[in-house]
Every structure is written in structure tokens, then in C-alpha cells.
Structure 1
Amino acid sequence: MRLHLDAFWHALAFLTRFPVPKQLEAGAWPHSPPMYPLAGAVLGSVLALAAFLLQDHLPSMVLAMLLVTVWVYLTGGLHLDGLMDTADGFGSQRPRERVLEIMKDSRVGAMGVLAAVLLLGNKAVLLAHLQGSDLWLGIFTAVILGRTAMLFALYAFPYARAEGLAQTLRTRPRWYRLWPLLLAVPGLILLHWTLLFPLLAGGMLIAAAKNKLGGLTGDIYGALCELVEVTVLFGFLLT
């Protein structure tokens, strides 16, 4: 029980800025990925609650920008950083090893800035056009499915680097430790046919990564999360 609880705290600390207990079992770190959807549920609940409480008191665009700002802050920009690094690497049109070097560079290039601006702009516009329960349900679902996609990609596809932080997390868990995946089921049902959009966006990114790099990296996991989130919001707009 302690291992599972500490695995959850590790996941929450890694994916968000929420405070967690300081003394965590180091051995629980490799077991933390199955808890990503649960960490997403915590983050999604906070954002959805803010949307629910404020949607009748603020203009839609003001609320949307506020939600996007809080969204980025609570994640520490972790996945957005992955998106920018991926855009810089893939946009460079260089050989595999050079692409990996560019993605590892802490500096952000023009392609990364453009990717971040376009994604955040699309998120804000989509949130501004979602009304009523679609707003807070859309946020809650997007956050959970984004982290579910990361979990799936981590275990289902090869890793492009010989070493890296994600390599320490690729220990396949027993099936019963994947129970947080059940949190994604209601969102999948709500999306209906528009589930096609996150599946298509995520599939295209994964295919490009496998073709260019031979596998995925931590940055691509972050980019995948961001793409799934924004396409889930788009799906809610169409349902």
C-alpha cells in the first residue's frame, strides 16, 4: 500500500506543482507512470472547479486566458517544454543524432516558440467557445486523457535514447497496477466519434517520431500530452 501511495505522490510531484510529502520511497519512482491518469484527475479537478465557479462571472475570453495561465503554471510548463523541444528538433530537418541534440538543448528556437504560441492560442480559443458543462467536463477529460496518452506511449513504443529520465520509468507494471486507466473511460465515451481527433494527432506524432528517431523521448511524451489535450477540447466543441 505504501508503494502505491508513494508512486502516486511521485507522479503528482513530477507532473504538477502541487505539494507532496517530502519523504517518499525512492523505489516507488519506477512504479509512478500508472498513476499518471490519477494525477491528471487531481489537476483536472482543480481546473474544472475553477471553470465551474468562474464561468458565470467572467467574460469567456478572460476566463479562457486565466484557465490557460493556471493550467501552464500548475504543470510547470513541463509538457509545453516538451512540445517546443520536439518542434525545434523535428523542424530542423537534420539527421537523427542532430535532432536528438537539438531536442536536448535547453534553448528554444523559432519553431518551438511558434508551436507554443499556436497551441496555447488554440487552447484559449477553444475554452472561450465551450459553454456550461462542456467547459469544465472538457478540461477534466482533456487533462486525464493527455496523461493517459503519455502512459500508453511510455509502455507501448520504443525509447529513442540509450539513456534518459524516461528510461527509469519504462518498467512494465503488472496489469492490476494499471487501474487508473479506468479514469479515462468516461472521457472516451463522452467524446463519441470526435475521439478520432486525439487519436489521429497522437498517431501522427508517434509515427513521425518512430520514422525520424526510431522511438519516442521524454519531450515527445510531453508534446503528445499537449496535442491530446487540445484535440480533446476540439472534440468537445463539436459534440
Structure 2
Amino acid sequence: MHQAKSRLLNLWRSLLGALIFYTICPIPSHWQPSFNRIARWSPFIGVMLGFALSGVFFGLSLLNTPNLLKSVILVSLWLALTGGLHLDGAMDSADGLAVTDPERRIEVMKDSTTGAFGAMSAMVILALKVAAVSAFSIDQWWVLPLTLGWGRWSQVTAIAFYPYLKQKGKGAFHTQDFQYPSDLLSSPLPILCIPISQIFSQQSNYLEALLITTAGIITALSVSLWFQAQFKGQTGDTYGAAVEWTESFVLSLAIIILQ
């Protein structure tokens, strides 16, 4: 009994650590978070953020907010809830890729100054999200938590399969604490519950839900693999980039499938 209670407490503290690290959500100061194995929670955090954004989407739809304005508000809130953590990584990774010398890429990514490629990558990511969300109908709300979940599972696959390039860094502790394969296989379960519930409640077409889920899995794996091929390893920045680009691609593919 004591062992089970201790295990539940550790899970709870780890979830709190994930909430602090991946979002701007505050927690009471007397709570004691742990950052041990928080990567396993990142898809769950993404799903929860997606549900929150879906609620805002519902509210704005009830107010008859114009689609483009609704989309800009939603994507801005999306960015704000994460504190720009992942977008910052995507921008730094783009600046690193602009350098032809692989040895200098990590050095460039450490520079706090945003380069032209970083700015352009942010514009493309945000434009894709705004365009995709503006094409949503209210009954397609479930795509948002699905998208945010798969985006973060791409980061989990990068942690699970590929080496970390720096001994120290904002993402180094992820690989040190990661337990393979349990963290890799358990982390997408909250995401998979979404299309399953949609199918059983007959709210969505079986084939559409299956195609979007398959697209999410393939995209998550492909994006993390692509960054591995470019950098021959991973950093905290490439983790963030994997999240952002997977989200953008999955969201866009979902809209195409649902049209």
C-alpha cells in the first residue's frame, strides 16, 4: 500500500513538473514538482492544451467571430500557453540549418539573436496554423487536441531514438531520465483515446479518424528523423522544432482529409 502511494505521488509530482516546464500554467508554491521523466507527460499536456483551445474555439464560434480573426486569436493563445518554448526551438534550429558547416550549427543555435531563417520559419509555422484553423468547422474541434498531442510525441520519439548532442542543455535531462520503451509506448495513449472516442460516439467518420491518426504517427516519426539526419543528433532546440513542424503538418493534413 505504501509503495503504491509513493508511486502515485511520484507520478503526480512528475506531471506537475511537466506542466511547469511545457506551459506557463502556474501551480501553488507549496506543491513539490519533479522533473524526472517529464517527457512521457508531454503528449498528455498537449492533449489538455488542445482541449482548452477547443473550448475557446467553441466560445468564439458561438459569438459568430469571423473565421480569420478566430484563427488568429486561437493560434496566439496556443503560442502564449507554451510561452513560445517550442517556436523558439524551431527558430533556432532553422538558423542552425542555414549554416553549411555542420560543426558550427550548434554554435549558431546558441546565439540569442534570431536570424533571417529563424524568422521565416516562424512565419511559415504560424501561417500554416492560422490557415488551417480558419478552415475548421465546429464539429472538427477534436483535431486540435490530436494535433498538439502528436506534435509532442514527435519530441518523445526524438528523445527515445536519437542521441543528445550536448552534455548540458535545456533538453539534456530528458534523455538521462527517459525509460525506453515504456515512456515511448505509454505516452501516445491519451492521443489515441481521441479518435477512438470519436468513432465509438459516431461523431466522426471511421476512415477520416484512421487517416488522421495514421498521418499523425507517420509525421511525428518523420519530422524527428529528418532533424536527426540534418544534425546527426538532437538538442533542446530540435525537440521544439519537431513539436512545431509536426503540429503544423498534422493540422494541415487533417484539414485536407476532412474537406
Is TM-score (shorter-chain normalized) higher than 0.5?
A: yes
Aligned partner of 1:87: which letter? A
Cross-structure match for 1:101:
107
Give the superposed CA RMSD: 2.3
Residues 208 and 94 of structure 1, relative CA distance in 2, 3 Å threshold: farther
The answer on whether the counterparts of 2:219 and 2:250 sit within 8 Å (CA) in structure 1 is no
d(CA) in 2 for partners of 1:199, 1:105: 32
Residues 197 and 90 of structure 1, relative CA distance in 2, 3 Å threshold: farther
Q: Which runs of 5+ in 1 are unaligned?
A: none
Cross-structure match for 1:14:
21
d(CA) in 1 for partners of 2:109, 2:167: 15
Cross-structure match for 1:122:
128
Residues 156 and 3 of structure 1, relative CA distance in 2, 3 Å threshold: same
TM-score by length of 1: 0.89
The answer on whether the counterparts of 2:160 and 2:180 sit within 8 Å (CA) in structure 1 is no
Correspondence for 2:80 among 54, 73, 81: 73
Give 1:213 shift: 2.6
Give 1:206 shift: 3.3
Moved more, 190-199 or 59-68: 190-199
The answer on whether the counterparts of 1:198 and 1:227 sit within 8 Å (CA) in structure 2 is no
Cross-structure match for 1:209:
227
d(CA) in 2 for partners of 1:186, 1:235: 20
Give 1:140 shift: 1.4
d(CA) in 2 for partners of 1:47, 1:143: 10
Correspondence for 1:193 among 207, 211, 233: 211
Paired-residue identity, %: 28
The answer on whether the counterparts of 2:150 and 2:217 sit within 8 Å (CA) in structure 1 is no
The answer on whether the counterparts of 1:138 and 1:233 sit within 8 Å (CA) in structure 2 is yes
The answer on whether the counterparts of 1:79 and 1:223 sit within 8 Å (CA) in structure 2 is yes
d(CA) in 1 for partners of 2:112, 2:234: 18
1:30 match: secondary structure: coil
TM-score by length of 2: 0.82
Cross-structure match for 1:110:
116
d(CA) in 2 for partners of 1:220, 1:174: 20
Deviations 1:121-148 (A, max 9, x none): 11101100111221x2121111111112
Cross-structure match for 1:63:
70
Cross-structure match for 2:163:
158
Moved more, 147-156 or 113-122: 147-156
1:29 match: secondary structure: coil
Deviations 1:181-232 (A, max 9, x none): 2112145665433556555655554344333432111111111111111112
Q: Which runs of 5+ in 2 are unaligned?
A: 1-7, 197-207
Q: Does 1:221 align with 2:225?
A: no
The answer on whether the counterparts of 1:68 and 1:124 sit within 8 Å (CA) in structure 2 is yes
Aligned residues: 236
The answer on whether the counterparts of 1:145 and 1:228 sit within 8 Å (CA) in structure 2 is yes
Deviations 1:4-57 (A, max 9, x none): 11100110111111112334546x312211111221122111111101121242
Structure index of larger Rg: 2
d(CA) in 1 for partners of 2:245, 2:251: 10
The answer on whether the counterparts of 2:155 and 2:224 sit within 8 Å (CA) in structure 1 is no
